């Protein structure tokens, strides 16, 4: 049986700091993996969760608010189910991660497809941050 706390996706995972978001875009570390563009930054941040995330579904692509809200709701669920991939690696490295995830697909993708894409995206982020850390040392 899975501990209920392990699969929660509460407020502590939501990035609300404008300073962090601006820092994220200044550093310009991003990954493009259809249907996402992800800006990411790994450092010693002071928030409680192993990572914080901002989800964005552009109004330019999805005109109707109910479409954008549905996509974000599905993305939150997929991230909630797969956050263990990121958390386990971040707890090992004792670093924190800030993510800004932009959904770029013109159509709404199925849950199963998004689930696979998020899993591969999280492993890509882990691999890129591992390579980036080894280059700094």
Domains of the chain, by residue range, sit at 9-136
Q: Which residues contact 136 (CB under 8 A, 6 or more apart)?
A: none
Distance from C-alpha of 54 to C-alpha of 5, rounded to nearest angstrom: 21
Beta bridge partners, 121, equal none
Q: Which residues contact 84 (CB under 8 A, 6 or more apart)?
A: 6
pLDDT in tens, 38-79: 999 998 889 899 999 999 999 999 999 999 999 999 999 999
Selection from 135, 122, 128 nearest residue 84 by Cα: 122
Which pTM value belongs to this model?
A: 0.88
pLDDT in tens, 22-41: 999 999 899 999 999 999 99
- Location of structure tokens 């599905």: 74
CATH 2.40.128.20 fits domain 9-136: no
Distance from C-alpha of 91 to C-alpha of 126, rounded to nearest angstrom: 12
pLDDT on residue 110: 96
Both structure tokens of 23: 């820092």
Selection from 42, 23, 36 nearest residue 74 by Cα: 36
């Amino acid at each position: 049986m899975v501990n209920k706390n392990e699969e929660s996706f509460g407020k502590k995972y939501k990035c609300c700091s404008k300073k962090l978001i601006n820092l994220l875009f200044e550093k310009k570390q991003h990954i493009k993996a259809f249907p996402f563009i992800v800006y990411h930054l790994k450092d010693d941040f002071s928030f409680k969760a192993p990572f914080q995330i901002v989800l964005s579904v552009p109004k330019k692509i999805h005109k109707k608010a109910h479409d954008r809200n549905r996509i974000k709701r599905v993305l939150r669920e997929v991230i909630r189910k797969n956050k263990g991939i990121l958390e386990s690696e971040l707890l090992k490295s004792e670093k924190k991660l800030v993510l800004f995830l932009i959904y770029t697909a013109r159509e709404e993708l199925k849950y199963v497809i998004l689930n696979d894409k998020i899993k591969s995206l999280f492993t890509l982020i882990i691999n890129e941050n591992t390579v980036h850390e080894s280059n700094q040392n």
